[in-house]
Chain A
Amino acid sequence: MISFNQVRKRYPGGYEALSNVSFEIAQGEMAFLTGHSGAGKSTLLKLVAAIERPNSGSVLVNNQNVGALKAGALPFLRRNLGIIFQDHKLLFDRNVFDNVLLPLQICGFDHKESAKRVRAALDKVGLLKRERANPIALSGGEQQRLCIARAIVNRPAILLADEPTGNLDADYAQDIMAIFKSFHQVGVTLLISTHDAGVLQDTRVRVLNLRNGVLQTATSP
């Protein structure tokens, strides 16, 4: 589903974020991406979503070389991805419902079908009762869950999450991990970055460990 082959990413100014990274994630697999901050976790996720492009090597998503995609084709790649951003990227000029509605508007769903899907997504993350609230009124954990609802409302095959439990206490983090596991169970491919070793202890999933842009181990469950 996701395959990196000798990927190197160097930012302008010479900083090498990723060197020679190769791995493969199969369809329906759930994998964690770990490493200290600055190890290149975010860069790796951005390469999958073609927010950044590799300097060399190839990034394949669904057998498509996303590093070579034309700008006009990017929207269609991203519609198949659900992305949970480190900084949430919620829109504070509209309520919770409309935030989750945005991906469906972009894909051109009709009104009735979208409303149904938005409520289903909000229900999944436990925010159904807050649909009229402004995201700014939500707690950090709720904002994170809202971001998840927006990422899954489109029913993507692949879910990317950048530090989804970064600023949350242990209980909230467990909640979120439970939500991810439920997606894993229905066959979604997940790639989750975290620097929080705590959330990994009781999970038996694959871990990709990055150190200074070099992939250390690819442990299997």
Chain B
Amino acid sequence: MKHIFAQHLSVLRTATRRIFNPPLAGLLNIMVIGIALSLPAGMYVLLQNAQGLVQQLSGTPQISVFLSMDAKADDIEKLRKQLAQHPAVERVEFVPRDQALQQLKQSTGLADVIGGLEKNPLPDAFVIHPKPGNAQTLDKLRTEIGTFPKVEQAQLDSVWAYKLEALLKFATLAVLILASLLSLALIAITFNTIRLQILTQRDEIEVSKLIGASNGFIRRPFLYFGAMQGLLGGIAAYLIITASLALLNRPLNTLSQLYASQFTLHSLNLGDSLSLLLFSLYLGWLGAWLSVARHLAQVEPR
């Protein structure tokens, strides 16, 4: 058992040495794989960041209903019932003007400015949580509520987030297509590299077959070669993404500070990083396997 492990280790070492022989060709191959992988993986990271931001900002869409300043308590009660009975409404929440002012003070850091006001400029308001629907039905509901008595204005919040989320879904699909295409490219790169390897190692393969090597023995170094090259490509992609995000984060910080908020791009988390490395290793192995299956039979001793 121990020496079988040692044998595999020695095959792995030989395969790795062959990747870097000649060194420049090996590095170029790894770089090509790294770039090919970093494109979809990097876009995936950006999308994850955008999705996080959208969720943080939106939650679910709401309709804010602002009442006119002269609305009395029984007007408010009547409106509350009307709203609550509406079939498209899930839940109604009343926000008294004083509470709204308090919230404004706490959440925006404008306490000084608000403190300087003589009286509360905010109207009473309802926050309506509509039943799930698309952007059109929500807009129809908003218009309808706008015509109710004592309603000054009805505003549909976060419908832009809805739209943005749909856009992000579209972008995710685009990234998936790109990832599939570049994965095929990666398999093709490995396929070709292994073909060249088989040609260079032709003598060794032929002699090995003549002195009793099984097909598994002959295949092994090429499979290790492909898998190792894929793994190194994956590591290259990881480094490219991490470095690019670090570069982007500095100007982004400055920018977000100008908008008085904190936003940094998160890099790949542990699970995603491992998936990236395993995936690239697997693609390399697959390319090598296809190539070996195709080309090894052509080297028959004579």
Q: Chain A interface (Cβ within 8 Å of chain B)?
A: 49, 51, 72, 74-79, 81, 83, 85, 89, 91, 93, 102-103, 105-108, 110-111, 150, 154
Contact = CB atoms under 8 A, between A and B. Distances in A.
Nearest to B6: A111
B53 interface: no
B206 to A, nearest CB: 7
Contacts of B203: 89, 91
A76 B6 CA distance: 23
A51 B211 contact: no
The 3 closest A-B pairs by CB, nearest first: A78-B212, A79-B212, A110-B3
Nearest to B200: A93
A76 B212 contact: yes
B202 to A, nearest CB: 11
A78 B3 contact: no
Given A49-B210, A110-B3, A110-B6, 20 more contacts: A51-B210, A51-B302, A75-B209, A75-B213, A77-B212, A81-B212, A83-B211, A85-B210, A89-B207, A89-B210, A91-B203, A93-B204, A102-B207, A103-B211, A106-B208, A106-B211, A106-B217, A108-B4, A111-B3, A150-B211
Nearest to B204: A91
B214 interface: yes
B301 interface: yes
A108 B7 contact: yes
Nearest to B18: A93
Given A51-B301, A102-B208, A75 B214 contact: yes
B222 to A, nearest CB: 15
Given A105-B7, A106-B213, A110-B3, A89 B208 contact: no
Residue of A83, A85, A89 contacting most chain B CB atoms (<10 Å)? A89
B5 to A, nearest CB: 11
Contacts of A74: 212
B213 to A, nearest CB: 4
Q: Report the contact-size class of chain B (Cβ under 8 Å from the partner).
A: 10 to 19
B100 to A, nearest CB: 79
A102 B211 contact: yes
Residue of B208, B211, B217 contacting most chain A CB atoms (<10 Å)? B211
Contacts of A85: 210
A106 B220 CA distance: 12
Interface in B196-247: 203-204, 206-215, 217
Contacts of A81: 212
A103 B209 CA distance: 10
Contacts of B301: 51
B268 to A, nearest CB: 39
B211 A78 contact: yes
Contacts of A89: 203, 206-207, 210
17 contacts: A51-B301, A72-B214, A75-B209, A75-B212, A75-B214, A77-B212, A81-B212, A89-B210, A91-B207, A102-B211, A105-B7, A106-B208, A106-B211, A106-B217, A108-B4, A108-B7, A111-B6
B53 to A, nearest CB: 55
A53 to B, nearest CB: 12
Nearest to B206: A89
A14 B46 CA distance: 68
A106 to B, nearest CB: 4
A155 to B, nearest CB: 13
A81 B210 CA distance: 10
A44 to B, nearest CB: 15
A106 B7 contact: no
Contacts of A103: 211-212
Contacts of B209: 75
Contacts of B7: 105, 108
Nearest to B21: A93
B52 to A, nearest CB: 52
Residue of A49, A102, A106 contacting most chain B CB atoms (<10 Å)? A106
A64 to B, nearest CB: 14
A106 B205 CA distance: 12
A77 B214 CA distance: 11
Nearest to B214: A75
Nearest to A88: B207
A72 B207 CA distance: 17
A83 B208 contact: no
A177 to B, nearest CB: 23
A93 B18 CA distance: 12
Interface in B252-302: 301-302
A150 B212 CA distance: 12
A49 B3 CA distance: 29
B212 A106 contact: yes
Contacts of B207: 89, 91, 102
A115 to B, nearest CB: 12
